[in-house]
Structures are given as C-alpha cells and as structure tokens.
Structure 1
C-alpha cells in the first residue's frame, strides 16, 4: 500500500504559471516545425529530404515513453524540468551556431533532434508538476493555460524565429528562442514540489532495494490505472477521434484548393493560428473547471466538428480558408485544454504520475496520427461523390470521425456513471 497525498497540495501552484512553463516545449517544436523546414527549403534542399529530416527530428516525441518513467523516481520533477529546459536552450543555441547547416546537415539534424528529446522530457516533467501541485478544482484552468502555452507557443515562437532571422539572421532567430526558453523556465523556481514517500520504499534499508521497490510500485500503479473502470475508459476516450484537430496538420496543403496565397497560409497557420489556439485553450480551461471534464471534452469535439462543417459548406475562397482555419484552431484549443483537464483529474499524484500522463498522451497522439492519415486519404477516396473530393473530402471525413469519437466518449461516460466508478483512477486499490 502506498501513501497518498492530500487532494490539494499544501502550497498549490497558481494555474496561470503554466501559461509560461510550456513555452520551452513550444519553442523547440516551433523551431523544428516552422523555422527549420523554411530555412532548409530556402537553402535549396528538396522537399522530400526536408520531410525525412523532419520525421527524424520528431522521433523523440514518439519514443519518450521509453525513458519518461525515470522521472517518477523520487520527488525531483522540478529538477528534471529545469535541467531539461536548460539543455533545450543550449541545444537551440548550438544548432544556430552550426556554420552552413546544409553542409553540416548531420550535425544540424542531430542537435535539433536532441533539443526535441530534452524539450519533450521537460514537457513531461511540467505535466507531472501540474498534476501534483495544483488543486483539484484548478485542473481545468491549469490544463488550459498549459495548452495555450503549448499550441500557441509553437506557432508564435516559430514565427518569432522566422521574423528575427529575416531582420537579423537565422543564427539570431535560434538564440532568441533560447532566451525565451530560459526566461520562461525560470518561473518553475516558484513551484514547491510535494515530497512523495512510498512506505515500502522508506523501509527498504538500501538505495538499490528502495529503487527496485519504487519501480515495482510504479508498475502496480500503472496497472491499477489501466485496469480501473475510470482509467480504462479514459484510455479509450484518448484513443477515440474526439478532439484530435487533425486538420491543422493538413491546412497548409489544402490552401491551393481555396486559392489561398503563401502569405495567407503563413498568417493563419503561424501567428494567427497560434493566437486563436491559445485563446481557445484558455476558454477550454475555464469550461473544464465548471462541468464534467469528460463532457466538456465531448462538447469541445462537437465545436471542432461544427467549424469543419461551416468550412465545408462555404465557398472555396481565400476568405473561407482564413476564417475556417482560425475557427478550427480556436475550437481545437478548447478541445486540447479540456482533454488536459480530464487527464490531470484522472492521474492524480501517485507513484507513476509522469508515466501515466505520458501513456494517455501517447494514446491521444496515436489518434491524431490515424485521423490525419484518414483525413488525407479521404481527399481522393473513390466512395465520396465528386463534390466531396480534395479539401471537401478531408473536411467531411474529419466531421464524421469526430462525431464517431464523441459517440464513443458518451458511451464511456455512461459506463462510468452507471457503475459508479470514481472520477479518478489514481487511488490505490
């Protein structure tokens, strides 16, 4: 049996602080998602090579579940966060100082890949700090601020790197992001991390035995969560296509169908998309603290689908592309924030808090991946009528999948309520 801390920590972290603490993650992702491809293409690298480099660079986000459990050993999550964000800043500077990245492509790619690894590890530590240092009634707001920092920061900081590189140099663009990383991460010094002491570990008598017992408790905690009714249904919800926002990965490629210029694409997917997604996240965090967080996530998915329907019914014009993309990004921000509030409520503060968040996050990322593939496939699907080919097909598929995911979520919510499952799967049995 493990000791369970109080639902509210002695010195809770104010939710607004997480508006800044995920900016290091957004900076690293924005650099790799927006700035790096632009610079490589501008230097003459073929698009297929840029795509291969991007796939390699983002690999740590898929494989982080292999090392994230280490963060659950001891009460050092704030230390992990500070160390990883500092490393992220250093790697961004190092990548920016590489002379002629096209001639040193291997070194440049490796440095950015390592920056993704440190950023996603710091991001995991930040998620755990949200779970263990915020009050239960603030989980939604904390998730909303964090997602505003995450999704908004990616677009805004990626655009910042491009702006600085245009007016100064690409080297200065990377250094500017590193300064943002250090400044925002320093606010974590305000967090007071509660000490988690496992009774069995405390009686172990040696460091090696204590480590082994703690790992065993982590495995049991993870197993309890997955086997519990609340935990299992939560995992199914994360795997369902409720609020994936997969079209955000395709909007740039859909632009020619709407006659949108490169400038329009840059504005609505970069600066405008970052602001609208951040605003949606703040709204979602507010809503998630005032109703069932699972139901709030379902409603957010419905709003996302409605924005896609509006775009589907409107004419294929640049104006439709602009307002449709921004509306979808806003709705997706709401969905991401309500998802974060739901998961934070679910995982609690136990032996495997960080690992459990990473598990639910991996399930959600899998849903985003398969919905993105299906939305893209629908653009040329033969079973759709001629009027639903191209971008219309992708929009229609996203709507269908989202409503299907909402149906799954509502069934899972009914199962939990009918059988009287607890709202959280974090308590030990």
Structure 2
C-alpha cells in the first residue's frame, strides 16, 4: 500500500487551487527531507572520505576506486528502490533507510582502516540504504497536487542537498582534528539518521489499497505504460540522456584554475563551500520561474544560459577575474538547472500513484548517464585543446543538445492532463 490522492486537472495544473491546498503540501519541507542523503553522498562519500583515507595513508588511486564504487548506487538504485512503494508509507521508508544508513556509517568508521574490504562493504550498504531517501522523496513529490508545489519542492530538494552536503563537509572536517575516528563515525551516523525524523512533519498522503495481487500488478503495469510506453516519452528520455547541464565540469574546473592565475586557496574556496552555496542559491532561484512555463522549456532555457557561462571561460582572457566570473555564473546556473531537472523528472513521471518511487528512480537514474560520458568528453577536450578546451567542449555540447530539444518542446502544445493525471 502507498500514497495516492484523487485530484483533477485544475488542481494539478495549479489553475484552481485553494489557499488550503497550497499550504497543506508544504513543498519547502523537501529541502530538509533530503538532508540524510545529502550528508551521506555529498558530505561524506564525495566529501571528507577521501581526506580521511588520505590521513590513514591510503593512496589517491585506491581512494578514487573506492569512491567510484560507493557512488555506484546512485545509478543502479532503481533495482531496489521500488520497495518504497509497498508495505509502508514512503516517509516511513525514508526514515528507516536513513537510520539504517546512519548505523552502517558509524560501524564502518569503527573499522581501523576505511579502505579495508569490510569497511568498504559496510559503506556500500550504507549508500544503498541512503538511496531509499531519494526514491521516497521522489514518490512523495510526485504525489503533490499542485504544479507550483512541485516546482518549489524540486528547488528546495536540490538546494537542501547541496547546502547540507557543504555543511557536513565543514563540520566533519573540523571534528576530524578533534576526535577519534570511532566518535567521528557516531557523529556522521547521527547527521544522517536524525534529520530523517523531519519526515514526521510531511503532510500525510492517502493510501492506495488493493484487495488482490492481480489488481496491484495491473495498476503498476498501467502506470508504467502511461509513463514510458508512449511517443511523448521519447523526448523526455532524450532530455535525460543528452549532454545538457550535466555539471561534469564542476569536478574538472579546479584542475585548470592555475591556467587562469588562480592560486590554491582561492580555488579551494571558489570550488568548495562557496561553490556549494552558489549552487544551492541557484536551486532556490528556480522557484522564481512561473509554474505556467512548462518544466521542460524552463530547464532547457536555463541550460542554454548555463552553456553560455562556460563561454566566458572558453573565450575570455585567462585571468583570475575571468575564472571567478565564469565559475560563479556557471555554478549558480547549474544549481538552477538541477532544480529544473527535478521538475522535468516529475513532469515525465506524472502522478505518483502506486509505483511513483520506482518510476522516479528509473527516470532520475538516467540523468547520471550524461554526467559519466561528459566527464570523459570534457577531459578529452582539455587534453586536446588545453584549459579552454575543457569549458568549450561542455559549452558546445550543452548548447547543441539544449537547442535541439528546446525547439521540439516549443513547437508542441502542453497537455497537462496527459502528463500529470494518474490513470
């Protein structure tokens, strides 16, 4: 059993919502609900973990291999995430996944060597449990009745993910100098588990109840068919897979900072906490985009602007001011793109129904594909044409991909009922 609410086209499109409907959904809460996964993925696995392993004498190559393994669940979590559509409410699964991930994280930190096979295995299980937060949030966002609420939820979800990740890196890095690894693991586990209690404040959503297994299978099959087995699913799938606003340059721009005359400390600040806060601000800025603008059109438009910001680094003089301006605008607009990407995922998903978490996980996982191949492509461009080639490669690929799909969506009428209504 899981959540569903019977609503009409007017409510979903945000054309006839009452004030009570606007306030009862509390979409801003998703900026807090994502905190457990933000701490685990952005704060620990892709944050302080390499620093902690380096202190233990683990080589850079080994650390890279471990982190690559630990981020794998972000791509394959659709294999187990559908469980959040069954047995309990999604918010309950969110809390259970967070607590399990926190406990496992604490156990991993109690191992003498974080690079040991046992520690890595426990960390991997923690990452897998943490993904239940993502699928749970996705299912709950898909059950929101008002399009404006969906946009706000997606913006706060992405902004919270970036902000809490940056805060976790700062807190854990500071505490690492003051306490042992075991105690640090307890703190890390608490930072993952405790915020999940905020799920109790999430608005209660009605449950889908079916009497027979056949009815459940039939409903799920119908929902998957209405989402994926239609011609209009093709452009949405391409939007997920095209090299559009992938953010791949985020991890590569520090490597070219010296080419623009930027020193190590300035680079660390710009691409560290300040960068995360810039992206969080960009995510929240997406709430300013009116809900009447189709999510796919808004996303692709912002993606074109994001590609243009890379043009500053590509074509501008190689000076510190060029780097600061280009990176600042790039990080801010990529945050806005992330928020609008979530809005597109929800537009593709339609209404959550019985299988919302599973369908959300599949769609969201597709978004990791361009991150992988664009990282390689950006690196190739940097090796071939130098510092300018890195940003130029992503700028051109992103602009071309966004232009093609934007032209398509602008020539198609918005059909709210078909996209948003549950069968």
**TM-score computed with the length of structure 1 as normaliser:** 0.87
1:345 to 344, 347, 364: 347
Unaligned runs of 5+ in 1: 205-209, 382-388
Aligned match of 1:6: 7
Q: Contact 1:302 / 1:403 at 8 angstroms: preserved in 2?
A: yes
Aligned match of 1:73: 86
In structure 2, relative to structure 1, the CA distance for the partners of 1:122 and 1:312 (3 Å cut) is: same
Shift of 1:312: 2.1
Q: Give the whole-Å Cα distance in 2 for the aligned partners of 1:171 and 1:320.
A: 44
Alignment of 1:206-355 (within 5 A): 210=213, 212-287=214-289, 289=291, 291-347=293-349, 348-355=351-358
Aligned match of 1:101: 114
Q: Deviations over 1:211-265 (max 9, x none)?
A: x542342233112211234433222211122221221131233334334443333
Aligned match of 2:17: none
Unaligned runs of 5+ in 2: 13-20
1:142 to 153, 175, 183: 153
Aligned match of 1:162: 173
Q: Contact 2:311 / 2:395 at 8 angstroms: preserved in 1?
A: yes
Q: Deviations over 1:150-192 (max 9, x none)?
A: 1333233223221221344444544333333334211110123
1:425 aligns with 2:419: yes
1:371 to 362, 371, 374: 374
Aligned match of 1:386: none
* Deviation larger for 343-352 or 109-118: 343-352
Q: Give the whole-Å Cα distance in 2 for the aligned partners of 1:177 and 1:321.
A: 34
In structure 2, relative to structure 1, the CA distance for the partners of 1:358 and 1:259 (3 Å cut) is: same
Q: Give the whole-Å Cα distance in 2 for the aligned partners of 1:390 and 1:171.
A: 44
Q: Give the whole-Å Cα distance in 1 for the aligned partners of 2:365 and 2:230.
A: 19
Aligned match of 1:401: 397
Aligned match of 2:383: 380
Q: Deviations over 1:64-105 (max 9, x none)?
A: 111112222255211110100111221222222223435xx1
Q: Give the whole-Å Cα distance in 2 for the aligned partners of 1:157 and 1:288.
A: 32
Q: Give the whole-Å Cα distance in 2 for the aligned partners of 1:327 and 1:53.
A: 32
In structure 2, relative to structure 1, the CA distance for the partners of 1:358 and 1:257 (3 Å cut) is: same
Aligned match of 2:412: 416
Shift of 1:58: 1.5
Q: Give the whole-Å Cα distance in 2 for the aligned partners of 1:113 and 1:245.
A: 24
Shift of 1:63: 1.5
Q: CA RMSD in A?
A: 2.5
Shift of 1:325: 2.5
2:74 to 61, 72, 86: 61
Superposed structure 1 runs of 4+ greater than 4 Å apart: 7-11, 169-173
Aligned match of 1:38: 51
Q: Give the whole-Å Cα distance in 1 for the aligned partners of 2:111 and 2:105.
A: 10
Aligned match of 1:358: 361
2:103 to 90, 103, 107: 90
Q: Deviations over 1:290-349 (max 9, x none)?
A: 522222101210221121111223333444434432321111000011111222233212
Q: Contact 2:85 / 2:355 at 8 angstroms: preserved in 1?
A: yes
Q: Contact 1:346 / 1:424 at 8 angstroms: preserved in 2?
A: no
Q: Give the whole-Å Cα distance in 2 for the aligned partners of 1:288 and 1:244.
A: 23
1:19 aligns with 2:31: yes
